[in-house]
Structure 1
Amino acid sequence: MGNLLYTIAVILVIIWAVGFFGYAFGGIIHILLVIAVIAILLRLIQGRKV
């Protein structure tokens, strides 16, 4: 479950970067960024190793 959460977070950050530079997704991309950051923070707080 931890690896899946980390993978989703990385994918969301990549999608955010593409949307940020391409202006394709508008405001939704920032919501995805927030979700990705929360997922990464949860992983760091839990202290699980990759």
Structure 2
Amino acid sequence: MSLRFSCNTQGSSQMLWIALAALGGATLMGIAAVYTKQTLIDDARSGTRGYF
């Protein structure tokens, strides 16, 4: 009984960690996309001033 209970809690916590990892990964990808977009915009603006 206790073994089954520990297996169930382990499984649910594993699902929780997978969900947290997926959410964290999506958040990091979103931040990276915004940062990359902002960097490209800044590069384009400073490129007109001979930055490249």
Q: Shorter-chain TM-score: what band?
A: 0.3 to 0.5
Q: Which has the higher contact order (CA 8 A, sep 6+)?
A: 1
- Structure-1-length-normalised TM-score: 0.46
